[in-house]
A and B are shown apart, each in its own frame.
Chain A
Amino acid sequence: MGDPRFDLDAPATRADVERRVGAALGTSATVTRWTRLSGGAIQQNLALDLRTDAGPRRVVLRTDARSAVAASRSRLEEFALMSAAARAGVQVPAPICAVPCTAARPAYTVMGHVEGVAAGYRLTRPGAVADPAALLRELGANLALLHALAPLPPSLAFLGPAPTAPTRGLLDGYRDYLDHWRRRFGDAWPALEWGLRWWQERAGDRETAVLVHRDYRTGNYLVDSGRLAAVLDWEFAGWGNPLEDLGWFCAPCWRFAAPDRVAGGIGPAADFLGAYNAVAGTGYTEADTRDWQALAQLRWAIIALQQCERHMGGGETSLELALTGRLLPRLERDLLALTPA
């Protein structure tokens, strides 16, 4: 495998970044220092310290870690989604610029740097957040602002028209992936099939689709001094049932060190949902999210298999991806607990 890194030490790349960022900010910009932030298996994030006409400024450059990315949206689409969310009032890092790929380097986007902690296990330790209810209220209200975004701006035309039954579409995708796994590795996953069947009996033919984040959970937002600083990771956003985001946030798989705190391991669901309902004009309760928590378990299990497949058969040896495959028993067990016979 060739070097997948975006090389900011290459003079041409650095000059390109300085020119693009400077133009977007209306200033001259010189990179004085850069560091690699912890990134996912799919993308990488770099922190850039800039010297500008207005003084020093820190920004984040986000780019693909690999040349080929299967599941997530392109960096440019992600940037468009984040920009639309920013205009809707959702707290996100300030979008600066999006630059298409060339033969020499992948596409990249640049946004303002936001201080804060995102790590799930750190945020869900006892006492880590001074006022969990306040944080959950901010998280609920921000999600409601996203779901209220309508009509979508032309920059999101790549999403296509709203589907009439987005959840059925998700189930079809999960079923197809399980078939793919079985063809490739010979194994079946009866607990996941149970979850699919259970949901198939319940999924409606008509749903109201809104713009959902689809990865709105602890670990994907920054907390600074106990308050929400920014919602991150927009690469999975798209059309969906608003309850999908609520269930994903509350699902057992995203509670980290605090499995008994339903709302993202931070606190009770009522704090999160109450703030969401107040902005969205809905009346959702924790009970309304249970089926969707089950769907979240199913979806994360499918993603875990996809990541495992990248390690096992995709020429991308990675301990992190390999260990993700071993999450299956716990994901299954929590899925089964949420889908009683």
Chain B
Amino acid sequence: MADRPLASDLLDTARAALLDVLLPALPPSERYTARMVARAMEIAARELTATPLRMDLQRELARLAAVVDDPDARTEAHPGEARARADARSADPPPAVPLEAIARALADRLRAGDFAPAAAPPGASVERARLHRALTAWSTERLCVTDPARAAPPSAEP
């Protein structure tokens, strides 16, 4: 049982009081600080209610980081088959590897040039594209917490 209201509700309500009641009464020189306080409260409230990273995305990141057993990697020539298998496993729990470890392993692989075209074995360009998609999706999920208004895809990109 959680005490009510929830922490996110407290933060939202406090933020509204800050912006609606206190901010207009502040001298102009202090309003920037008040807006920063409101922004910090807004991010914290959203983070408290944010859902964990999508399981399929976490699995994909773990696979790309090579920190889990990777049946899909052996079937790159048949991406439809791999996708069907991934769909069938959509209810699987996320990998036990924490996201922090996945991030470190991905960084290590990128440093080592594992995704670079020059050193890549056949099929690696597919992996490179999948990595780019997965990283973009991961950043977007975090953007939904920090700045949801900007979480839509950037415009005018090729």
Contacts and interface: CB of A to CB of B under 8 A. Distances in A.
Interface stretch (B4-12, B19-27, B74-82, B136-144): B136-144
B132 A330 contact: no
B43 interface: yes
Interface string B120-152: 000001001101110110111011011100100
Contacts of A197: 110-111, 113, 115-116
Contacts of A341: 125, 128-129, 131-133
B146 A330 contact: yes
Interface in A178-198: 178, 182, 186-191, 193-194, 196-197
B103 A336 contact: no
Interface in B92-122: 100, 103-104, 106-108, 110-111, 113, 115-118
Contact of B139 (A196, A259, A260, A332): A332
A193 B103 CA distance: 10
Contact of B154 (A38, A252, A328): A252
B51 interface: no
The dominant DSSP class at the A interface is helix
Given A190-B103, A201-B118, A319 B154 contact: no
Nearest to B110: A193
Interface string A299-334: 000000000000000000001101100111110111
Interface residues of A, number: 35
A272 B142 CA distance: 33
Given A323-B36, A337-B136, A329 B104 contact: no
A234 to B, nearest CB: 24
Contact of A189 (B107, B108, B117): B107
Nearest to B125: A341
A329 B142 contact: yes
A340 interface: yes
B110 A340 contact: no
Interface of B: 32-33, 36-37, 39-40, 43, 100, 103-104, 106-108, 110-111, 113, 115-118, 125, 128-129, 131-133, 135-136, 138-140, 142-143, 145-147, 150, 153-158
Given A191-B138, A197-B113, A336-B135, A329 B33 contact: no
Contact of A194 (B100, B110, B150, B154): B110
Contact of B103 (A187, A319, A320): A187
Contacts of A332: 135, 139, 142
Nearest to A339: B132
A38 B133 CA distance: 40
Which of A190, A197, A259, A338 gathers most chain B CB within 10 Å?
A: A190
A337 B154 contact: yes
Given A201-B118, A329-B142, A333-B139, A340 B107 contact: no
A190 B107 CA distance: 5
B95 to A, nearest CB: 16
Contacts of A201: 116-118
Most buried by B among A38, A196, A337: A337
